[in-house]
Structure 1
């Protein structure tokens, strides 16, 4: 006749000790009530010590503590959530406005301008996915997908800052760019796109490949309670490390370029120098914001958390102010609006000549772009 043995879970789990004032022992000594987690534990779920304390499994204590704290958010958490939503949504609106204005104005769509457009595009979706992630409460397939996309778009945004730095380096130091060569500019921008939208796949795919191996204890992959990278190790290896390398690359490129500009009087008042100055401010804000966010991630909610949230949420507004709030852009927008009104007026008075009007409209649009340039 086979025998069945009931093995106590306490033999296999990590244990914690509760003092006598942290639980209530029943009269029959058959169970205890843990006040902090509002839970009864049966006799096979705890062991009594001689000094009156008890030992229980860690996994029977932490999950309930987490759920209890999650179900009763305090005032600071609520304020932080509202602050995050306001900052992110405001940033998204400014990023969208910046991208649309670049699409409207032909004169802004130079190679540096297109680089800024792509940086804005990646940053927009990175922040949008963060907002969407905050509304997901369960570790599902959707949660995992969102975590992977957040990882991809943030690395992509930083890669575009590398592209912008490298382009400025080539423009000033190497002086290898030919002005006015449309074909060369198109090929160069295509190379930038391939690099900036392909490189982020490397850490993302590496994380997924490791997650599919036998190294389950390392907790690679996406999902978890935050719908992002599952462990601090994965965060450091596949997210923080690439960003640190990208920031170092930007620092080196900027240092060389600024040194060259300072020793070259002919570019002291150039338009490109102004573009470099604006992008340097953007790079500083981007880098500083993520330093704040990463450092804050190792501590509890504090006033520093609010500062990190506000700085990271102000990126969209800073981009809009730096690249759109200029007299030149306002002048181009005004000219574009007048040209559009003239075209509409002409079309409305020439209804009997549809084909002719269509050609005239195209000519007007072409003239608009030429005039802007």
Structure 2
């Protein structure tokens, strides 16, 4: 398990999302929601993986607690709660306590009579919890209810219904709204002055009442811990503080979570907690996620740098997208540019254009959802496709430069067949990697591996294996190609006497150096920057990687040949051309 919805657009650059292999515990400023823990564990701020548990008789599968035996029925449950009025201008202050208790008793019977085979209850006025509203105190009621679940409902069904009745709804009582709040401990409940006590019991028949009484000592407490995955805290790792002479909100639960202190005081959050008979505290993981997120935000002292990195990233990517679009338009406009290396450059530009757009979309989308999962898969695939084309372009130019007899690329009769094969090869690697991630994730955790926490890969280990490793491999190969090519150029130039050939060789070498620098070395800088958390390297990586499209545009479009092609296509040049009766193919 991991922190839900912790993506924040003002946190670091988009490239951290792309190649982030650091765990949450290592990066206290990161809000990207990635975890190195399994689905049966929860990751603390210090990176420690803590075991998630379920209510007795349930098992955790794919992040959900379900009953091991689906036909279990007739369990006994206990509801120990306060009935707190939520309206400041409430009618309850004009009603006597006796009338309010009668109304509360009626509401309790109405809520559970049709869902149980019997119940025993006590209800009263909690004097210490009275709330001051305008000119007089508004009473707070308490209820202690034991319920024998209906034999017509499965355990999971009854528990979902009970949670909705007591902690998922608001009720009208005496003209105003009230809600149930879970009383965490027996100690707080016993300290409550139970004035105006009312008792009652109802059962279908005596046998059910007897069974209910027998089950009182083994009852399950009604709270969200019945259905959620939760963490267990020993008595030494939490405290529950309450000043019974103060208002109802003055309860404070302090947790020690992996060395971090978390303070919980919101009464509604107590509905997702339980103190057991063994004095252990169970807290739903979703509640911990919320408070850990607050802790992260309060500890984020590097926000100005994060915002600057994001502004720089979006500015560079915007320029890159524009240049890539102009590059594609140029290649499409002039057939003479669509040679083998020209087609390679087109696919390189197209893959980078789509990959950068997908990354921006993924960073602005939220999960979990089917759409988020699809965006994550597409983003991963497109970046792998781009890295594959950067490798193929580098490999092609390496073969051209190291050929025994240097020559210009000519038209090939099998051009389209070669293009089809090359395109198939470029798709094969990304498809295999994405498929492997999906299969492995499903086998190990019954998930797809994408879109559970953000619209990308779900874990930093998956990013390391399926993104960082391929990037390092491609970058390493490109740098080797560059080194061998430079050595080969020096050897060839020692033998050549034609100046034009030398100029052409050096011209192409300059282009190759530019291409290799943006598709190889600086991706390594990005990875080092994220692993080492070095902002200076992040800035350099954003400049060079974010401006890849600009570099490709300058390298292959900004040259005299393309200028001449545009000049010939210009309206002035076309209007000055002599009339002709021939048709151009």
TM-score above 0.5: yes
- Compute the TM-score of the two structures, normalised by the length of structure 2: 0.51
Query: Per the alignment, do residues 79 and 18 of structure 1 end up closer, same or farther by CA in structure 2, a change over 3 Å counting?
Result: farther
Q: CA deviation at 1:291?
A: 2.3
Q: CA deviation at 1:149?
A: 1.2
Aligned equivalents of 1:72 and 1:135: distance in 2? 23
**Please, which of 228, 231, 240 is the counterpart of residue 456 of structure 2?**
228
Aligned equivalents of 1:26 and 1:277: distance in 2? 73
Q: CA deviation at 1:328?
A: 2.4
Aligned equivalents of 1:190 and 1:275: distance in 2? 26
Aligned equivalents of 1:58 and 1:296: distance in 2? 35
Q: How many positions carry a matched residue from both structures?
A: 345
Q: Does 1:246 align with 2:474?
A: yes
Query: 2:252·2:263 contact (CA, 8 Å) conserved in 1?
Result: no
Aligned equivalents of 1:38 and 1:316: distance in 2? 51
RMSD of aligned alpha carbons = 4.1
Correspondence for 2:359:
130
Query: Per the alignment, do residues 170 and 57 of structure 1 end up closer, same or farther by CA in structure 2, a change over 3 Å counting?
Result: same
- Compute the TM-score of the two structures, normalised by the length of structure 1: 0.76
Instruction: Give the unaligned 5+ runs of structure 1.
Output: 48-53, 347-356, 367-373
**Please, which of 383, 404, 409 is the counterpart of residue 154 of structure 1?**
383
Structure with a larger share of its residues in helix: 1
**Please, which of 288, 309, 321 is the counterpart of residue 521 of structure 2?**
288
Q: Does 1:341 align with 2:574?
A: yes
Q: Does 1:203 align with 2:433?
A: yes
Correspondence for 1:349:
none
Query: 2:475·2:523 contact (CA, 8 Å) conserved in 1?
Result: no
Residue aligned with 2:252, SS: strand
Query: 2:472·2:524 contact (CA, 8 Å) conserved in 1?
Result: no
Residue aligned with 1:32, SS: strand
Aligned equivalents of 1:275 and 1:147: distance in 2? 37
Query: 1:16·1:58 contact (CA, 8 Å) conserved in 2?
Result: no
**Please, which of 363, 381, 398 is the counterpart of residue 169 of structure 1?**
398
Aligned equivalents of 1:27 and 1:58: distance in 2? 25
**Please, which of 548, 554, 558 is the counterpart of residue 315 of structure 1?**
548
Aligned equivalents of 1:67 and 1:195: distance in 2? 47
Aligned equivalents of 1:293 and 1:205: distance in 2? 26
Q: CA deviation at 1:300?
A: 5.8
Correspondence for 1:96:
325
Correspondence for 2:231:
13
Q: CA deviation at 1:342?
A: 3.6
**Please, which of 271, 275, 285 is the counterpart of residue 504 of structure 2?**
271
Instruction: Give the unaligned 5+ runs of structure 2.
Output: 1-210, 255-261
Q: CA deviation at 1:93?
A: 0.6
Residue aligned with 1:13, SS: strand
Q: Does 1:188 align with 2:415?
A: no
Q: Does 1:62 align with 2:289?
A: yes
Moved more, 127-136 or 190-199: 190-199
Aligned equivalents of 1:63 and 1:150: distance in 2? 28
Query: 1:16·1:56 contact (CA, 8 Å) conserved in 2?
Result: no
Correspondence for 2:191:
none
Query: Per the alignment, do residues 112 and 199 of structure 1 end up closer, same or farther by CA in structure 2, a change over 3 Å counting?
Result: same
Correspondence for 2:445:
216
Aligned equivalents of 1:17 and 1:171: distance in 2? 71
Cα deviation code 1:10-55 (max 9, x no counterpart):
99626499999xx8822149942567666456495469xxxxxx97
Q: CA deviation at 1:279?
A: 2.5
Query: 1:31·1:42 contact (CA, 8 Å) conserved in 2?
Result: no
Choose 1 or 2 for highest CA Rg. 2
Q: Does 1:262 align with 2:482?
A: no
Structure with a larger share of its residues in strand: 2
